[in-house]
């Protein structure tokens, strides 16, 4: 299980603790240890936008991370780039995996998929306080060969 690392020479303005928090945040998926979120985020961490049914804080994100790890048991996260200024960081990451279990109602396709994440983090001290994220879900579900059903819409 590779531990996602910030590329050499990137985000040098961040403190050692902030760099560690970012790597732990992505490591929660990459190392398959959702409890790493506890050390990476503040207890009142905001995840924007929340996934369907997601609760607040790191405890609310853990079921979403577990769902991803179940759907993609061989998931690999690579931190491609980090742009930073004091107490803020923008991360571009790449995820690759095999779609081996249902995800948001889409049956397992057993296809290899790769998609990107673009996330913006605010720090409080050396921990993440707020994260805005955008995943390429269109690309992900296109590769899987199906899309989640829209609520209230019938086939």
> What is the structure's pLDDT at 41?
98
pLDDT computed for residue 151 by the predictor: 72
pLDDT of residue 152: 67
Note the pTM of the prediction, 2 decimals: 0.93
Q: Which two tokens stand for residue 101?
A: 């279990």
Please write the tens of the pLDDT for every residue from 25-64.
999 999 999 999 999 999 999 999 999 899 999 999 999 9
Closest CA to 113 of 155, 74, 154: 74
Judging by beta carbons within 10 Å of its beta carbon (0-12, 13-18, 19+), is residue 94 exposed, middle or buried? middle
Sign of the Cα pseudo-torsion (9, 11, 15, 16, in order): negative
Q: What is 50-110 written as a DSSP string?
A: PPTT--SHHHHHHHHHHHHHHH-TT-EEEEEEEEEETTEEEEEEEEEEE--S-BTTBPP--
**Tens digit of each residue's pLDDT (9 = 90 or more) over 70-128:** 999 999 999 999 999 999 999 999 999 999 999 999 999 999 999 999 999 999 999 99
């Amino acid at each position: 299980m590779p531990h996602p690392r910030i590329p050499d020479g990137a985000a040098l303005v961040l403190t050692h603790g902030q760099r560690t928090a970012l790597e732990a945040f992505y490591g929660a998926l990459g190392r398959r240890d959702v409890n790493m979120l506890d050390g990476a985020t503040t207890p009142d961490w905001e995840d924007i936008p929340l996934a369907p049914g997601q609760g607040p804080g790191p405890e609310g994100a853990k079921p979403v991370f577990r769902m991803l790890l179940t759907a993609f048991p061989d998931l690999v996260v690579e931190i491609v780039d980090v742009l930073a200024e004091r107490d803020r960081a923008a991360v571009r990451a790449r995820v690759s995996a095999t779609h081996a279990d249902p995800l948001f109602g889409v049956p397992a396709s057993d296809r290899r998929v790769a998609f990107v994440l673009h996330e913006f983090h605010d720090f409080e001290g050396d921990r993440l306080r707020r994260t805005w994220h955008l995943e390429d879900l269109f690309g992900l579900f296109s590769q899987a060969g199906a899309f989640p059903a829209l609520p209230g819409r019938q086939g």
